[in-house]
Amino acid sequence: MTNIRKRALVEFASHKPQRFHVEERPVSEFFGENVFDLEKMKRYLSVEAYKAVVDAIELGEKIDRNLADQIASGMKSWAVKMGATHYTHWFHPLTDATAEKHEAFIDPLEKGGVFENFKGSTLIQQEPDASSFPNGGLRNTFEARGYTAWDPGSPAFIIDQTLCIPTVFVAYTGESLDQKTPLLKSIQAVDKAAVAICRMFDSNVSKVNTMLGIEQEYFIVDEAFYRARPDLMICNRTLIGHTAAKDQQLEDHYFGAIPNRVMAFMKDFETEAYKLGILLKTRHNEVAPGQFEFAPIYGEANISVDQNLMMMIIMKKIAKKHKLKVLFHEKPFAGVNGSGKHCNWSLVTNTGVNLLSPGKTPRTNLQFLSFFAAVIRGVYEHHSLLMSSVASLSNMYRLGGGEAPPAVMSIFIGETLTKLVESIEKLTSKNLTSISDKEVKMRSKLHIVNQIPEILPDNTDRNRTSTFAFTGNRFEFRAVGSSCNVASSMFILNGVVAEQLVRFKELVDREMRNGLSQDKAMMKIIRQFLVESRDIRFEGNGYSAEWQAEAEKRGLRGIKNAPDAFKEYISDAAVKMFESQGILSAREAEARFEVLNEIYVKKLQIEARVLGDLTTNHLIPTAITFQNALVKNVQGIKELFPDEFSDLCATQLRLIKKISGYVNHLHNDVHNIVEARRVANRIEDVAEKAKSYYETVFPHIESIRTVADKLEMVVDDELWPLPKYRELLFFR
């Protein structure tokens, strides 16, 4: 048997460019054809049923069970016509993956034969046997039931002849076992708090939507190489592998021409995405070789999250057709950039106003500043929780790497807004106590806003090193990992903002009761919020060592490791925020904390096992084979030149020793990692166990890699068993 790398190289070399079916219709003709959207509902539902869905979406009203039957029937007619044979409640358990259990539409007829059946009760609720989803103790074994319930806010869609119905997933007790439930609750919390403020400006505002645009980075590798790397296959990242001589240092990949094979793949998945009603807008090469990005046009957060997860599913499926593999892991390759999922976030009213877009008039600017200040204040208050929301084993390999956002939160707002913020802080700080004084009145806040009738923050004024950046009309949270379900970060962001919006309104009301005009009261609180959160604002280079030191001085708590970060979920401040905003109960927060720790342990355990296998069964034998060749060579030379051999074989002898050193080191490290696991596995408490894994198992993962990569540099290329970085990262 030749080694698996060689077989993969042969397979790769024999890969012939294929012609794929391309959709010839213009996109506008097939856009959304696989989605049961409002337009289709109009055609398939009675007026009454259609109205019920619209009211559910827009007003959050419950759908009557009778109407649900009508809706289900219409949905089924459409789906069956589209060729669907099955349906599934599609939900987002606490694993970052999506879950689906398919049921056929068919039911038997009494006298033989079948008919397609889909009842309202089935549409609305299911009870999947889902006792093996992570639940953090929320489902005792004696009451392990969980329910999925239809989310009418996100349209049903068809993938692989299966009608997928987006649902929430909750325990028997109503506690959430998924990512969608808290996200929906957080969207409601923001809506309620934001509307209350908006109505102080415009009584027509009845709803504020959380908007989200997700930029998704990902890697692509050839499937043959992927299959030849157990680490990629099982852990989605390379646990070992020396960097290639050339990777991203010439910066020739970013925005470069997209390789043909990748282009064919992109066109293919874009077509499917369009059919699913996903507004894909941009595609390009990312910084690292083999790395790419797509971004759809932003939309309502709930739908954006669902669509992002749908994209991840279809990309994996389509890649297979092209003999490619998509890697969503945050750091599949050491030494080159990792992947994130930038979350572009804003708030938009039902009247069409983006609350984070600086306005043209003083009054709209006052509204903008209210929201702008509340976001900054909220992010400051819970900076550590927000950072923790992105913590995972995989994302920790990426964060703070001098290419990805640092592991500490900071907000970049750009030069224009910095000047504005500074002037707000200055103008009122001295005179705050006597804000109603005549003299101060002249220089009061409205006046400040008057001076700046139109704020035009420069859109190109970008700071890529910032964790959380204001980019003209939205905030962009860049630390979120590429493999995760962003809902877990978004419900926290929504929660912390909602909390401050509520506080903002309370404080403004109090000032008004004390005699200040509405505008002045608002300006006073805006100023207060900005002053309070001054420490979170940072315009410099987030990658620099100086910033790390400075952040610490400012008391900004970065995340040092994932298990430590998870604790933020159950901190008093977090639980207070979750509960007051109706997003999670203390028990639900605790459950998530447990699940996060559990997943961390399991993933690290898997990495350790794979690494043990790679080292013991691939690397050490390869090292010994090569070493044997060297020994033979030395013996041969010794026979030929008995007197001179030690001079002639100096290099070989050094290598032989070096390899022995590496082999011993690897062997010991593998032994130690097994021991460390054994000890850690005995720990009952899952948080303690995660901590132990981090402290005792994790260091070996790194040290094995260091030695394995050195070994790769000395062993005969012919013998090396795993596809190398240059093979994985560069393909045409």
Q: Which residues bind ligand ADP (CB under 6 A)?
A: 211, 213, 215, 282, 295-298, 344-346, 354, 473-474
Name which of Mg ion, ligand ADP, none residue 387 binds, using a CB cut-off of 5 to 8 Å depending on partner kind.
none
Q: Answer for the pair 194, 501: CB distance below 8 angstroms, yes or no.
A: yes
Please, which residue, 474 or 524, has the CB nearer to ligand ADP? 474
| In the complex, minimum distance from the CB of residue 175 to ligand ADP, in angstroms, rounded to a whole number | 31
For residues 578, 580, 581 and 585, what is the CA-based torsion angle, rounded to 10 degrees? Answer: 40
Q: How far is the CB of 55 from Mg ion (least distance, A)?
A: 35
Q: Considering CB distances under 5 to 8 angstroms, the limit depending on partner class, which of Mg ion, ligand ADP, none binds residue 508? A: none
Residue whose Cβ sits closest to Mg ion: 342
At 608, list the tokens. Answer: 């350790």
- Write the Ramachandran bin of 38: left for phi over 0, alpha for psi from -120 to 50, otherwise beta: alpha
Return the number of the residue (342 or 677) whose C-beta is nearest ligand ADP: 342
Q: In terms of CB distance, is 36 or 219 closer to ligand ADP?
A: 219
Do 211 and 218 form a contact (C-beta atoms < 8 A)?
Answer: no
For ligand ADP, give the closer residue by CB, 414 or 723: 414
417 is written with which tokens?
């807004």
Q: Which stretch binds Mg ion (CB under 5 A): 37-45, 231-239, 263-271, 334-342?
A: 334-342
User: Least distance (Å) from Mg ion to the CB of residue 711?
Assistant: 39
Contacts of 641 (CB under 8 A, 6+ apart): 648
CA angle 693, 696, 697 (to 5 degrees): 60
Site for Mg ion in 596-655 (CB under 5 A): none
CB of 344 to Mg ion, least distance (A): 6
What's the rounded Cα separation, in Å, for the pair 404 and 331? 10
Task: Give the tokens for residue 418.
Answer: 């910095």
Q: How far is the CB of 295 from Mg ion (least distance, A)?
A: 7
The Cα–Cα gap between 626 and 711 comes to: 11
- The smaller minimum CB distance to Mg ion, of residues 237 and 342, is found at 342
CB of 295 to ligand ADP, least distance (A): 4
CB of 407 to ligand ADP, least distance (A): 21
Q: Please tell me whether residue 691 binds Mg ion under the rule CB under 5 A.
A: no
- Distance, CA of 174 to CA of 15 (rounded, Å): 52
- Told to check if 341 binds Mg ion by CB under 5 A, we report no
Instruction: Tell me whether residue 113 or residue 352 sits nearer to ligand ADP (CB atom).
Output: 352
CB of 266 to ligand ADP, least distance (A): 15
- Residue closer to ligand ADP (CB basis): 118 or 218: 218
Task: Identify what 354 binds: ligand ADP, Mg ion, none; CB under 5 to 8 Å per kind.
Answer: ligand ADP
Which among 318-326, 339-347, 368-376, 439-447 is the span making contact with Mg ion, rule CB under 5 A?
339-347
Please give the Cα distance from 432 to 634 (Å, whole number). Answer: 85
Looking at the Cβ atoms of 259 and 296, the one nearer to ligand ADP is 296
Binding partner selected for residue 134 from Mg ion, ligand ADP, none, CB under the kind-specific 5 to 8 Å limit: none
Smallest gap from residue 540 Cβ to Mg ion (A)? 19
User: Could you tell me the two tokens for 642?
Assistant: 């008995």
Cβ atoms 185, 109 nearer than 8 A:
no
Query: Which option in Mg ion, ligand ADP, none does residue 370 bind, with CB closer than 5 to 8 A by kind?
Result: none
CA distance 626 to 589: 53
Nearer to Mg ion, 341 or 691 (CB): 341
Query: Residue 359: which of ligand ADP, Mg ion, none does it interact with, CB under 5 to 8 A by kind?
Result: none
Q: What is the dihedral of CA 627, 633, 636, 641, to 10 degrees?
A: -120
Query: CA 148, CA 156: separation in Å to the nearest integer?
Result: 14
Burial of 603 (0-12, 13-18, 19+ CB in 10 A): middle
- Alpha helices by DSSP H, 535-685: 545-553, 562-566, 572-580, 586-613, 620-640, 645-648, 650-681
User: What Å distances lie between residue 389 and 126, 378, 381, 596, CA to CA?
Assistant: 29, 14, 14, 10
- Outline where DSSP puts E strands in 436-556: 468-470, 475-477
- Determine if 342 is a binding residue for Mg ion (CB under 5 A): yes
Give the binding site for Mg ion (CB under 5 A). Answer: 342
